[in-house]
Structure 1
Amino acid sequence: MQVLTRLLFASFAIAATPVCFASDDWRTLDPENTLVIDSNKGRMIIEMRPEMAPKAVERIKLLSREKVYDGLQFHRVIAKFVAQTGNPNNQDGGGTKYPNLPPEMMFKLPYKSISNIASNSSDAASGFLGSVSIQSLPITDALKKDGASLRSWGAHCAGIAGMGRNEPRDSANSELYFMLDATRRLDRDYTIFGRVVIGMDVLLNIKHGEPPVTPDIMQSVRILADIPANERPQVKVASEQAMQKIIAKVRQEKGADFSVCDVVVPAKIN
Structure 2
Amino acid sequence: MRRATAILGGLAALAGAGLVQAQEVGGPPPAAASHAMAAAVTDWRTVPAANLLVIDTNRGRILIEMAPEVAPEHVERIRLLARAGFFDGLTWHRVIDWFMAQTGDPLGNGEGQSPYPDLSAEFTFRRDASIPFTAVAAPAGALVGFLHSLPVQTQPDVAMSLTADGKVHGWGLYCPGVAGMARDEGNDTANSQFFLMRQAYPALDKRYTVWGTVVSGLDVVRALKSGAGDNGMVTADPDRMTRVRVAADLPEVGRPVVRVLDTESAAFRTLADQVRQSRGADFSVCDITLPVEVSQAQVPTGG
* Helix, strand or coil at the partner of 1:51: coil
Corresponding residue for residue 30 of structure 1: 48
TM-score after normalising by structure 2: 0.80
Task: Looking at secondary structure, tell me which structure has more helix per residue.
Answer: 2
Corresponding residue for residue 278 of structure 2: 253
* Helix, strand or coil at the partner of 1:247: helix
CA contact (8 A) 1:36 1:43 kept: yes
Unaligned runs of 5+ in 1: 1-12
Structure 1 position 141, deviation (Å): 2.2
Mapped partners of 2:251, 2:66: distance in 1:
20
Corresponding residue for residue 220 of structure 1: 243
User: Which protein shows a greater Rg?
Assistant: 2
Unaligned runs of 5+ in 2: 1-25, 228-232, 296-303
* Distance change >3 Å, CA 91–CA 128, structure 1 → 2: same
Corresponding residue for residue 53 of structure 1: 71
Q: Report sequence identity in percent.
A: 41
Structure 1 position 133, deviation (Å): 0.9
Corresponding residue for residue 259 of structure 2: 236
Q: Say whether residues 1:73 and 2:86 are aligned partners.
A: no
* Distance change >3 Å, CA 230–CA 268, structure 1 → 2: same
Corresponding residue for residue 8 of structure 1: none
Equivalent of 2:287, from 256, 262, 269?
262
Aligned residue runs from structure 1 range 151-162, under 5 A:
151-162=169-180
Aligned length: 258
Aligned residue runs from structure 1 range 139-154, under 5 A:
139-144=157-162, 148-154=166-172
Structure 1 position 147, deviation (Å): 6.1
Mapped partners of 1:104, 1:203: distance in 2:
24
* Distance change >3 Å, CA 251–CA 146, structure 1 → 2: farther
Aligned residue runs from structure 1 range 120-135, under 5 A:
120-135=138-153
Task: Looking at secondary structure, tell me which structure has more strand per residue.
Answer: 1
* Helix, strand or coil at the partner of 2:73: helix
Corresponding residue for residue 206 of structure 2: 188
Structure 1 position 15, deviation (Å): 3.5
* Higher RCO, Cα 8 Å, sep 6+: 1
* 1:161-197 Cα deviation digits (max 9, x unpaired): 0111111111100001000001100000000000000
TM-score after normalising by structure 1: 0.90
* Distance change >3 Å, CA 14–CA 75, structure 1 → 2: closer
Corresponding residue for residue 95 of structure 1: 113
Corresponding residue for residue 299 of structure 2: none
Mapped partners of 1:149, 1:167: distance in 2:
30
Which amino acid letter does the alignment assign opposite residue 285 of structure 2? V
Corresponding residue for residue 138 of structure 1: 156
* Distance change >3 Å, CA 268–CA 114, structure 1 → 2: closer
* Helix, strand or coil at the partner of 1:108: strand
* Helix, strand or coil at the partner of 2:244: strand
Aligned residue runs from structure 1 range 102-117, under 5 A:
102-111=120-129, 113=131, 116-117=134-135
CA contact (8 A) 1:44 1:196 kept: yes
Mapped partners of 1:146, 1:98: distance in 2:
34
Corresponding residue for residue 28 of structure 2: 15
